[in-house]
């Protein structure tokens, strides 16, 4: 059941097998499964050669569990790691927020649209859903549902 079946990503780097992703992280075989629905996100990684586990549970729908799991795997493997930055939102007035409203072309076919809804800025990338962003300085913003930071100048 845990034999590599379908190649995913770069050839020979990772495989999908009956709900499990089989790959190598920090030189160690990793068998993992991530999941989530509205209200939680999770990632379970088993490093079978070491009989070690990294399990990350988040009680909101977010994309940060993968990054947290990667940093924990780095610790487990004796590799360099970074403690995630804690973002803290500040309040900006409507006139300050209005300066950032517009469309920003990040690639030829990829545009990030910024809109204001009351005291909240929302972003929407081409063919993607709406993501609220929060100011942490006069021109630095962060998202909570994905691990993303923005500098708008």
21 and 72, same structural domain? yes
Range of the domain at 30: 6-76
Per-residue pLDDT reduced to its tens digit, 64-123:
788 889 999 999 999 999 887 889 999 999 999 999 999 999 899 999 999 999 999 999
Last residue of a domain, one of 76, 105, 128: 76
Same domain, 68 and 99: no
* pLDDT confidence tier of residue 9, bands split at 50, 70 and 90: confident
72 and 32 in a single domain? The answer is yes
Residue 59's pLDDT band, with cuts at 50, 70 and 90, is: confident
In a domain, 88, yes or no: no
Kindly give, in sequence order, each residue whose CB lies less than 8 Å from that of residue 130, ignoring residues fewer than 6 positions away: 122, 123, 124
- Specify whether the CB–CB gap between 124 and 115 falls below 8 A: yes
Q: What total number of domains does the chain contain?
A: 2
| Reported pTM | 0.61
- Residue 100: its pLDDT value, please? 96
Distance CA 5, CA 147 (A): 30
Q: What is the pLDDT of residue 95?
A: 94
């Amino acid at each position: 059941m845990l034999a590599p079946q379908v190649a995913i990503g770069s050839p020979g780097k990772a495989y999908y097998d009956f709900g499990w992703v089989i790959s190598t992280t920090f030189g160690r075989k990793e068998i993992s499964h991530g999941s989530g629905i509205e209200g939680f996100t999770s990632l379970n990684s088993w490093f079978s050669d070491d009989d070690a586990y990294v399990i990350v549970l988040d009680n909101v729908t977010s994309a940060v569990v993968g990054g947290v799991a990667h940093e924990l795997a780095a610790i487990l493997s004796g590799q360099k790691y970074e403690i995630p930055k804690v973002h803290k939102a500040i309040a900006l007035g409507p006139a300050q927020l209005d300066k950032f409203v517009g469309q920003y072309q990040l690639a030829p076919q990829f545009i990030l649209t910024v809109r204001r809804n009351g005291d909240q800025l929302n972003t929407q990338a081409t063919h993607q859903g709406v993501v609220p962003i929060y100011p942490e300085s006069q021109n630095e913003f962060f998202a909570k549902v994905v691990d993303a930071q923005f500098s708008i100048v």
